[in-house]
Amino acid sequence: MRVCPICDGEIKREEKKVTYRYKEHTRDIVQSGEYCTQCHEGFLSPKDLKISQKSISDFRREIDNLLTTDENGGANSNYFKKLNLNGIARKL
């Protein structure tokens, strides 16, 4: 059993619905992570954050009338790869 560093409660792996707000719009997104059963603090791994970041990014893109990740088919990443600019693209 993992112990919460904040309150010494038990930490369990689960999915929670989190409401994100962007430009007066809201969307519920499922966020996987480890959560304390007492204080409800969340502990998210880089993998957890990467998975939810796509949903958050697509939500913002929809509001801004831009192509979502699936709609653009990764065109930008292929462009950077073709020009051998991957390192630069990550810094932007």
Mean per-residue pLDDT of the chain: 83
The predicted model gives 11-32 an average pLDDT of 93
pLDDT exceeds 80 at position 89: no
Residue 79 pLDDT class (50, 70, 90 cuts): low
User: Hey, where are the domains in the chain?
Assistant: 2-91
Residue range 2-91, CATH number = 3.10.20.860
Query: pTM surpassing 0.95?
Result: no
Asked whether the CA dihedral 29, 68, 71, 76 is positive or negative, the reply is negative
State the Cα–Cα distance between residues 49 and 70, nearest whole angstrom: 18
Does residue 91 carry a pLDDT above 70?
no
| C-beta of residue 70 within 8 angstroms of C-beta of residue 37 | no
Tokens coding 31: 């966020």
The tens digit of pLDDT for each residue in 33-54 reads 999 999 999 999 999 998 888 8
